[in-house]
Structure 1
């Protein structure tokens, strides 16, 4: 698991509403922490860090947002706007979340519990980490 990957989730359609299921066998890791971002003000950005060990899976439960991924060499933008599709972000990638729509909700499933020592919060330190 070394690359960014969009993963389609199952979608069970019903006239009463759709249902998507996410079980541990869909991801290359067992999630140990789940959190979500919501009420992100217009023009605000979230993320702005990389993880040394932790991997994450992001889903737009409602609305949309952009995920800017920097590899240390190039930047790509992924727009998430479907609750039956997520973005797998392995460790070692810089990420920023921008352009949240009104009502946008980002669900995050993380491979580990919160450990501040796993975060790289300075972009220059991230670039040095990628070169090492």
Structure 2
């Protein structure tokens, strides 16, 4: 499985840094939803699903966490720990997030609004579909 990272341009000076996120420019789709996770307790894994059509970019804006990405053939583990780097999560990629640092804020940018019918929450069902 090829992991596609999204490099984000940092603008800044002695006052600090800024990253702008723009749909169809550095985010490769129209943005319909943004959400973020924080205060995730130690030892907790999140995710455990794939999407039929949704495309997402995950960015650890603070701290770090690890991802398991699985396309039904290959499984890859990555660490997100750079606020200037996102990872693209395409449709039909099972994903789990784990080993959150205490200060982790994980932001996810999505191509569509929440739609429960787009989720595949059972791994066996996911494998049958891919």
The CA RMSD measured in Å over matched residues stands at 1.2
Name the structure 1 match of 2:7.
8
Large movers: runs of 4+ above 6 Å:
none
Name the structure 2 match of 1:114.
114
Unpaired runs of at least 5, structure 2: none
Name the structure 2 match of 1:125.
125
Counterpart Cα distance in 2 of 1:35 and 1:117? 19
Name the structure 1 match of 2:41.
41
CA contact (8 A) 1:48 1:96 kept: yes
Name the structure 1 match of 2:90.
90
Q: Given the two structures, how large is their TM-score scaled by the length of structure 2?
A: 0.95
Q: Which moved more, 1:15-24 or 1:39-48?
A: 15-24
Q: Which moved more, 1:18-27 or 1:54-63?
A: 18-27
Counterpart Cα distance in 2 of 1:85 and 1:126? 28
Q: Given the two structures, how large is their TM-score scaled by the length of structure 1?
A: 0.94
CA contact (8 A) 1:68 1:97 kept: yes
SS at match of 2:101: coil
Name the structure 2 match of 1:61.
61
Task: Count how many residue pairs are aligned between Structure 1 and Structure 2.
Answer: 129
SS at match of 1:124: helix
